Amino acid sequence: MTTMTCAQMGGPADCTATISGNTSQEIIENGTKHVLGSHPEMAEDMKKMTDEEKAKWAADFQPKFDAASEA
Ligand SMILES: [Zn+2]
């Protein structure tokens, strides 16, 4: 189980909410739920993302998740 803060996942720098998941897929799903509940403006931006942009975001996120997993 890997835990990251919302800020580490690309959320607002002052958000210290923690998100956990066993895989990058799982932590992204849990992070999305947190954003929907706590950051409606970010959620709106996420809804506007194309599949291509989402794929790029996930690719950028993977090394951050790997680094957090090893810590
Ligand atoms: Zn947050």
- Report the separation in Å between the CA atom of 21 and the middle of ligand 1, taken as the mean of its atom positions: 15
Report the pLDDT averaged over residues 34-55.
96
Give the pLDDT confidence score for residue 54 in this predicted structure.
93
- State the DSSP string of 26-53: HHHHHHHHHHHHH-HHHHHHHHH--HHH
> Which tens digits make up the pLDDT trace of 47-71?
999 999 999 999 999 999 999 998 7
- Report the separation in Å between the CA atom of 19 and the middle of ligand 1, taken as the mean of its atom positions: 9
Give this prediction's pTM: 0.89
Give the pLDDT confidence score for residue 43 in this predicted structure.
96
- Report the separation in Å between the CA atom of 7 and the middle of ligand 1, taken as the mean of its atom positions: 7
- CA 40, CA 21: separation in Å to the nearest integer? 22
- Report the separation in Å between the CA atom of 13 and the middle of ligand 1, taken as the mean of its atom positions: 9
Give the pLDDT confidence score for residue 36 in this predicted structure.
96
